[in-house]
Structure 1
């Protein structure tokens, strides 16, 4: 979808760039496929803040998405493409067995890939046609194909490439495993029995938007965070100093743990599945 640029009729409109969502469904979601969503404000069950920068935001209902795509051999029709406040990608309402949401038929939400339109047919099976929206096992997908919503364990549901504009590329096969390349540059093995959906995720322009005012971030539930270098030494390791300082040589969190690129991954059982780390220096 295209981007919308606004005329500077006010300071809040100057520089505002949003995704044009005029082609999406205008009404609300299917009630049977939603559930209530409580806001935490970043607090845990004791009321302590465990995630800073979270509070407020518009009230939302969670849309139940079919990440597993295990309804094998049943063809579905795309009824509409919808906005989902819980994710950056758009979602598609699929009607199965000729049913629709209006008639109370079998319906489900999936992550909408690029180039999927209302009226298109989609199907999930062990092996099927390579076209956007179809889902099949990774071991049956041709090498070089772009996929998304990729499982990491058979039957668990898609975990990789679910955000707007993301995708995974199948680069090879080896003894019941499939080699894939992620957007980060990492290459890894995934079991050939894992499901993946053809195509890249919708709304690739999401990263090109400009909210233009702090209030628009507050609507999304994000609170402002004060930089550590602007605080006093009692409040942050970067604080204090005479005049303006950069905060020292090694950036740390308010609790002294290294941050901004410091490696935190240790003793992961899945490290053996990684062929090439995303941290490996690019050749050429």
Structure 2
């Protein structure tokens, strides 16, 4: 993985930073994917219900195995792929029974490495087991919130959790944000942290790159006319003259709590 800063030969490349890697860039695994329908923020009547969406490139959705319920079946990492629907990469696992599944690719998991799920799985990167059998202080990701419910916590690039304590039926984990969660000890988790941790360093460089992601421009309310937004209008440049509100007049910031 190489972080490349472009030379300012054009306006769009002046501040552009891109990551070059050796991910698989050919045909995706069709059995575990589908073409993702995009409604551009419109409801069943064609009316815009979510603003600032529309006009993006076609995407394929990969079904990711967040359950990891193929216990005691050895799997080999066949390839590591880019996923347009998330900031983390995916690993395509070929299991010994012939089935293939996508999983969130952990850091330092490479092609031809092996992974396995189950109670007696060793504490190795990519292996999945119950929180009951994971010692304190080990980095984990793709943690379930309830037994058999599928991974919920720590699925984005560079994220991880840490087990800080345990009791008879529960364990206490700390997310990367510092948030503390109490979870049933029969929930599953994967050893290691999610890869592609340099994703936050990417700079798109120009507005067109954002448009290809399906994100349309956002105009400030103070730059509008009074008929378009409560902040609009005024003589010269104004700051709105009232508390920040949405285009429909509702407060857009929470009220301060009395301490």
- Cα distance in structure 2, aligned partners of 1:139 and 1:49: 47
The match for 2:13 is 13
Q: Give the match for residue 69 of structure 1.
A: 68
Say which SS state the counterpart of residue 193 (structure 1) adopts. coil
What is the SS of the residue equivalent to 1:217? helix
Deviation at 1:127, TM superposition (A): 4.2
Q: Secondary structure at the match of 2:31?
A: helix
Classify the secondary structure of the residue corresponding to 1:256. coil
Identify the match of residue 141 of structure 2 among 116, 125, 148: 148
Confirm whether residue 231 of structure 1 aligns to residue 224 of structure 2.
Answer: yes
2:199 aligned partner: 206
State the Cα deviation string for residues 232-281 of structure 1 (Å, max 9, x = none).
Answer: 23322322333323345643322333335x38xxxxxxxxxxxxxxxxxx
Summarize the Cα distance change of 1:188–1:248 in structure 2 as closer, same or farther, 3 Å threshold: farther
Aligned residue for 2:105?
Answer: 112
- Residue by residue over 1:63-94, the C-alpha shift from the partner in whole angstroms, topping out at 9 and shown as x without a partner, is 11101101111110001110011111000000
Contact 1:82 1:93 in 2 (8 A): yes
Match of 1:121 among 103, 114, 132: 114
Give the structure 2 partner of residue 34 of structure 1.
Answer: 33
Q: Any idea what SS the aligned residue of 2:222 has?
A: helix
SS at match of 1:197: strand
Q: Which runs of 5+ in 2 are unaligned?
A: none
The equivalent residue for 1:138 is: 131
TM-score, L = length of structure 2:
0.93
Q: CA deviation at 1:145?
A: 1.3
- Contact residue 143 and residue 152 of structure 2 kept, 8 A: yes
Does the CA contact (< 8 Å) of 1:127 and 1:137 recur in 2? no
Provide the alpha-carbon RMSD of the alignment: 1.6
Offset at residue 44 of structure 1 (A):
1.5
Contact 2:157–2:197 (8 Å) recurs in 1: yes
Q: Is the 8 A contact 1:2 1:205 kept in 2?
A: no
1: distance between equivalents of 2:133 and 2:250? 44
**TM-score, normalisation: structure 1:** 0.85
Deviation at 1:45, TM superposition (A): 1.5
Residues 88-111 of structure 1 show CA distances to partners (whole Å, capped at 9, x for unaligned) of 1000000000x6xxxxx3110000
Q: Within 1, Cα distance between the matches of 2:131 and 2:246?
A: 40
Q: Which residue in 2 is equivalent to 1:2?
A: 2
| SS in structure 1 of the partner of residue 164 of structure 2 | strand
Residue aligning to 1:259: 252
Query: CA separation in 1, counterparts of 2:63 and 2:89?
Result: 13
Match of 1:91 in 2: 90
- Unaligned ranges ≥5, structure 1: 100-104, 264-284
